[in-house]
Amino acid sequence: MVMELQWQLCSETNLTLFFPKPITLEKQQQCWALADSIQQMPEVLEVVIGMNTLSVFTISLTWIELEAFKDNLSALLDDIPSKTINGKHVDIPVHYGGKYGPDLKTLATELGLSVETVVNLHTEATYTIYFIGFQPGFPYLGGLSESLYFPRHATPRTKVPAGSVGIGGEQTGVYPFESPGGWQLLGQTDIPLFDLTKASPTLLNAGDTLKFTAIDIYE
């Protein structure tokens, strides 16, 4: 592998792989591929995919055994092709700004952009769902324009409405449920991202693509 990998040995039953910055789809595809390849290994109990990261939970191993297992996984990455998931495409209509996106105007001002430019940049990109986490159905998306990178709130809100569309650092996403959260809120969608009455409760899955569309924009 050309890029330098970082493994963190978290305990005698857990090690986590971190790919170096920047976050890319290619690295995520390698996470998907490695997860598929090791699921059935006798040492592996569970594999959890994150944003260009992979956590591997194992049976109890000695430190020497875990180090050897880590080296085997690194070598395996050199031999397996990246995994491409041909997922579905979903359009998410959004009410931007106003009561739906209380951080939109401030974010635009801080970035030196107009509200319309922020919305245009946010809606013109095609995003890929890297993984689902935080809440059932919450998509972590790759593909946000670097022009829109913006830090999370230092003090998270205690209540973020369901359907809120926001930016946190280098990522954008949608809150399926009302919850506390620190992302900058740009807007809100009426589309449910999680529905237990359906055979597949989550609207989005890893490998799907997504575009946001603007229903309206409020200052």
Please report, rounded to a whole number, the percentage of residues in the chain having pLDDT higher than 90. 63
Q: What CA–CA distances, in Å, run from 131 to 14, 29, 60, 175?
A: 20, 11, 27, 14
Residue 5 has pLDDT above 80, yes or no: no
What's the CA angle centered on 120, arms 126 and 162, to 5 degrees? 70
Rounded to whole angstroms, the Cα distance separating 5 from 129 reads 22
Residues 129-147: pLDDT tens digits? 999 988 888 999 999 999 9
Which residues, including other chains, have CB under 8 Å from residue 26's CB and lie 6 or more apart? 82
State how far Cα 212 lies from the chain centre. 16
The enclosing H or E element of 90 equals strand 89-97
Residue 85 has pLDDT above 60, yes or no: yes
Residues 199-213: pLDDT tens digits? 888 999 999 999 999
Rounded to whole angstroms, the Cα distance separating 133 from 141 reads 11
Q: Where are the domains of the chain?
A: 6-79, 89-218
Q: What is the pLDDT of residue 2?
A: 45
pLDDT classification of 187: cutoffs 50, 70, 90: very high
Rounded to whole angstroms, the Cα distance separating 210 from 97 reads 20
Q: Do β-strands 127-132 and 164-168 pair in parallel, antiparallel, or remain unpaired?
A: unpaired
State how far Cα 11 lies from the chain centre. 25
Q: What is the pLDDT of residue 71?
A: 87
Residues 13-39: pLDDT tens digits? 899 999 888 888 989 998 998 998 888
Tokens representing residue 133 in the block: 């986490």
Question: Average pLDDT, stretch 75-101?
Answer: 88
State how far Cα 60 lies from the chain centre. 29
Q: Crossing angle for the helix pair 25-38 and 63-79, nearest 10 degrees?
A: 120
Rounded to whole angstroms, the Cα distance separating 104 from 33 reads 37
Tokens representing residue 37 in the block: 């390849």
Residue 160 has pLDDT above 70, yes or no: yes
Q: Looking at the domain that runs over 6-79, which CATH code has it been given?
A: 3.30.1360.40
Q: What is the pLDDT of residue 1?
A: 44
Rounded to whole angstroms, the Cα distance separating 48 from 206 reads 12
Q: Looking at the domain that runs over 89-218, which CATH code has it been given?
A: 2.40.100.10
* Of 17, 32, 31, 30, the residue nearest 69 (C-alpha): 17
Report the chain's mean pLDDT, rounded to a whole number.
91
Residue 40 has pLDDT above 60, yes or no: yes
Range among 12-16, 96-100, 191-195 with highest mean pLDDT value:
96-100
Residue 100 has pLDDT above 90, yes or no: yes
